[in-house]
Amino acid sequence: MKKESGIKMFFRTTYQTGSPIPYILSIQVLLFVLIHIADLLVELNVIKFPLYDWLVGQLSLPNTFAAFIRQPWSLITYPFLYVGLFNIVFDCLWLYWIGNSFLNFLNKRQFLFVFFSSFLLSGVVYLALGNIDFLAKGSMPFLFSNAMGLASVVAGLLLLAPNMEIRLFLFGTVKFRTIAIIFFTLQLLFYIFANRSGAVAYGFAIAWGFLFMQQLKNGNDWSTIFSIKPKQKLKIVHQTPKTPSYRSYKADLPNQEVIDDILDKISQSGYESLSSREKEILFKVSREEQE
């Protein structure tokens, strides 16, 4: 049997899992590398044009509609733009961890809806506040990074599984709600000092994540507006409903079919429709993925 090369194994295990997270991270890292190559070319006097500053200005979201009209693509590009190494490393690690935790409970469509809709809505809020002098003041008159998407995902996960426990290297086992509150507080403090209208937009992103998850728990899945269902002829089928068998594949965890049934039930009827046994199963699966 021919041994698989390291590069092929990397691409298979990274991009063929069905998760959208590696693709999002790859775009962020690639854009970060490209703009810093541009900065290096300017520093070495290879080119005279301030390409780095121009790229950052064109890809970040300005704080007024007047400037936005000249670069409307920035509403889509600003979430992927990073200029600081620490910032992109932290956010990539955070997105990888939080995003995969979110996908342990819900599906890819729901994750993408929360993540990207928060960028668009928060971006519009940010632009609308640009004409208010008090909010427009700050050291950073533009918006970039995926902070808005992360805020919505964290808020949704916080409402769905606030008691989920996370093992931290230095602090031991900590409840997820504690980590989320600290994360929100630090980000809001940063925006308050650097970008006041950005702070309001960030608060809106948090509220949007809570609202989406609350509606999902009530049985209203807003992400289904992006699902295309083929028309089917009406059929009357008499079928005896089957009760899922909770067969274990690892410790006392159920098989994948049972997990999929539970996730479908959340999408159709909301989180509160789950029985205590089904909620316990989701919690155990999440704990197992974190270990």
CATH of the domain at 88: 1.20.1540.10
Shared domain for 206 and 69, answered yes or no, is yes
The pLDDT of residue 245: 46
Taking only Cα atoms into account, the Rg of the chain, rounded to an integer number of angstroms, comes to 22
DSSP state of 254: E
Q: Which pLDDT value is given to residue 251?
A: 43
Q: What is the pTM assigned to this prediction?
A: 0.75
Contact in structure between 154 and 169 (CB atoms under 8 Å): no
Closest by Cα among 141, 111, 139 to 126: 141
What is the extent of the structural domain holding 252?
A: 248-290
Same domain, 221 and 259: no
- Eight-state DSSP code of residue 291: -
Alpha-carbon span 167 to 97, nearest angstrom: 12
In a domain, 231, yes or no: no
CA atoms lying within 13 Å on the CB side of residue 27: 12
For residues 221 and 262, state if they share a domain.
no
pLDDT at residue 172 in the model: 74
Residue 137 inside a domain? The answer is yes
For residue 248, what pLDDT is reported? 41
SS3 state of residue 230: coil
> What is the per-residue pLDDT for 180?
93
**pLDDT at position 232:** 55
- What pLDDT was estimated at residue 80? 96
The total of structural domains in the chain comes to 2
- Residue-by-residue DSSP string for 168-208: ETTTEEEEHHHHHHHHHHHHHHHHHHH-HHHHHHHHHHHHH
In a domain, 62, yes or no: yes
Q: In the numeric block, which tokens belong to residue 288?
A: 């197992």
Task: Specify which residues 168 forms β-bridges with.
Answer: 172
Residues 85 and 43 in one domain: yes
In the chain, which residue ranges form alpha helices assigned H by DSSP? 6-15, 21-43, 51-59, 65-69, 74-77, 85-105, 108-128, 133-136, 147-160, 176-194, 196-217, 256-269, 276-290
Same domain for 129 and 197, yes or no, is yes
Q: Examine the domain organization and report whether 23 and 134 are in the same domain.
A: yes
Taking the C-alpha atoms of residue 187 and residue 161, their distance in angstroms, rounded to an integer, is: 21
Amino acid identity, position 29: V
Per-residue pLDDT, 102: 92
Q: What is the pLDDT along the chain (291 residues), one digit of tens a residue?
A: 455 566 666 666 677 778 899 999 999 999 999 999 999 998 998 988 999 999 999 999 998 888 999 999 999 999 999 999 999 999 999 999 999 999 989 999 999 999 999 999 999 999 998 777 777 666 678 899 999 999 999 999 999 988 888 777 777 788 889 999 999 999 999 998 888 899 999 999 999 999 999 999 888 999 988 766 555 554 555 555 555 444 443 444 556 667 777 777 776 666 667 777 777 777 666 655 545
